[in-house]
Amino acid sequence: MKKVDLIHFDFFKHISTDCLKDIVYKYELPKYVYSKKVITESLISLRGNLPPMFEIFYAQKSNPNKNILRHINSLGISCDTASQGEIRAALESGFESEKIMFTGPSKREPELEYAVEKEIFSVNIESVQELMLLDKIAERYGKKQNILVRFNPNYETGEQTRIIGGSGVSKFGIDIEQADDFFVQYQKSKHVSLLGIHIFNSSQILDWEKIYNNTKNVINTAKELSEKYSFKVSYIDLGGGFGIPYGTDEKHLDIKSLGISLTKLVSDKVYNEFLNGVKLIFEPGRFLSGASGIYLAKVQYKKISRGKEILLIDGGIHHFLRPVLLGASHPVVNLSAYYEGREKEKTYMVAGPLCTSLDAYGEDVVLLETKPGDVIAFMNAGAYGYTESMPYFLSHPHAEEIFLD
């Protein structure tokens, strides 16, 4: 990999490679390195292209690091949470209650009580039973809780790996065919107020047209439900789905084309009257945090097994599980070799220190020629990285999380 190639990664488009020199030369243990500037630039791109009626809620699940949460709050957007712990983290990071939304298919009663007590913006209902329970809790607290209702539609966006979408059986939301059941119970509920609908059926989408078509489908669904059940829609939560490229053959999501098409859509006379005064919500997580982080590990040993050259590193799936969990490729670069100016490339198997054959990152990883002591970086590790892993497995040291800015 020639020196100019690092510029192809979003992380290095905004961060000088020199910023990592001290970290690499003084390396002791595996660590995540983040840049707030990369998050800011991703948000600027999103905000600069979406129509003004779109609101952004950061999907905290992608990376709940408190420094990241505080930074995102300072940028003026809201927070999508999926547990009481995430609600608490959002509040502690400065998000106001009215900027916090609570989603998830199996919320415990204490979690719902906490949400009502804190008077958050919305609890997104995913079953009729949950609606009944929340109504009782709100009555007990003498409050009226705002809600969105999450539906499981009969259309999908087209995830490459099914993470949250699909049009079949789903633990998420209420099947659209069961909308009658929800609205019958809602009419009996006196302590909740329905603001609109929520449909989240995609993740890691790189085709802007798929996101556009899904947005149109969700708006149509909201319009149909509003007319059929005679309720005013104030918010439509379109979920997330904004992807980032991982493999070298993947292209960036074309935010500009998406924004142009969405502007035309919401201005269309077919939708204009219905959408007057309506706020549309996107919940990007990975799109904001993914490229902001890298995971560093050191090559401890290099050996050959049956003709295959293997790099054994001190980090592994206890810190960074995603590539193995989803079978997803992450670009890997040898920073030590980059700083030393090496130019020859070789193909290696890269594996971690854990006593399981699952702890391997690939058999054909192309790196600048590598030797023991080199520090390598897994790129685009800022989303679904450390907190989606298993840091207590085999009791290795935990990974440090540090910021360049």
Indicate whether 94 belongs to any domain.
no
Residue 394 pLDDT? 96
Give the integer Cα–Cα distance in Å for 16 and 237: 37
Q: How far apart are CA 184 and CA 360, in angstroms?
A: 52
| Cα radius of gyration rounded to whole Å, the chain | 23
Count of structural domains, the chain: 2
Angle, alpha carbons 324-166-102 (nearest 5°): 85
Q: Are 131 and 185 in contact (CB under 8 A)?
A: yes
Q: Judge if 254 and 346 occupy the same domain.
A: no
Residue 91: inside a domain: no
Model pLDDT, residue 302: 98
Question: Same domain for 310 and 391?
Answer: yes
Q: What tens-digit pLDDT sequence spans the chain (405 residues)? A: 444 478 778 899 888 999 999 999 999 999 999 999 999 999 999 999 999 999 999 999 999 999 999 999 999 999 999 999 999 999 999 999 999 999 999 999 999 999 999 999 999 999 999 999 999 999 999 999 999 999 999 887 765 555 555 567 788 899 999 999 999 999 999 999 999 999 998 889 999 999 999 999 999 999 999 999 999 999 999 999 999 998 778 899 999 999 999 999 999 999 999 999 999 999 999 999 999 999 999 999 999 999 999 999 999 999 999 999 988 778 999 999 999 999 999 999 999 999 999 999 999 999 999 999 999 999 999 999 999 999 999 999 999 999 999
Residues 174 and 265 in one domain: yes
| Domain that includes residue 253, residue range | 103-284
The per-residue pLDDT for 249 is: 80
pLDDT at 1: 46
* Residue keyed to tokens 């192809």: 8
- 322 in a structural domain: yes
The answer to whether residue 257 sits within a structural domain is yes
Please tell me the distance from the alpha carbon of residue 143 to that of residue 191, in angstroms, as a whole number.
7
Report CA 31 to chain centroid distance, whole Å: 20
Residues 188 and 264 occupy one common structural domain: yes
Which of 258, 47, 246, 12 lies closest to 157, judged by CA?
Answer: 258
pLDDT at 155: 83
Contact 285, 382 (CB under 8 A): no
Residue 128 lies in a domain: yes
The span from the CA of 33 to the CA of 342, in Å, is 23
* 61 domain residue, yes or no: no
204, 286 in Cβ contact below 8 A? Answer: yes
Residues 158 and 300 in one domain: no
CB 351 within 8 A of CB 302: no
Give residue 202's pLDDT. 80
- On whether residue 166 sits in a domain, the answer given is yes
CATH of the domain at 322: 2.40.37.10
SS3 of 82, please? coil
Q: Which of 240, 263, 284 is the last residue of a domain?
A: 284
> What is the per-residue pLDDT for 203?
85
Tell me how far apart the alpha carbons of residues 33 and 20 are, in angstroms, rounded to a whole number.
Answer: 9
Task: Kindly state the DSSP code that residue 200 receives in the 8-state scheme.
Answer: -
Contact status, residue 48 vs residue 35, Cβ threshold 8 Å:
no
Helix, coil or strand: residue 173? coil
**pLDDT confidence of residue 4:** 47
In a domain, 262, yes or no: yes
**CATH no. for residue 123?**
3.20.20.10
Domain-terminating residue out of 246, 261, 284: 284
Which amino acid belongs to residue 166? G
In this predicted structure, what is the pLDDT of residue 164? 57
CA distance between the termini of the chain: 26
Q: Is 210 helix (H, G, I), strand (E, B) or coil?
A: helix
Count of CB atoms situated within 10 Å of the CB of 204: 26
Residues 312, 242, single domain; the answer is no
| Among 92, 82, 89, CA closest to 61 | 82
Note whether 246 and 362 are same-domain residues: no
With a CB cutoff of 8 Å and minimum separation 6, the contacts of 160 are: 204
Q: Report the relative pairing of strands 360-368 and 345-351 from DSSP bridges.
A: antiparallel
Rounded to a whole number, what is the largest CA-CA distance in the chain?
A: 71
Clarify whether residues 171 and 213 are in a common domain.
yes
- Asked which of 256, 284, 312 is the last residue of a domain, the reply is 284
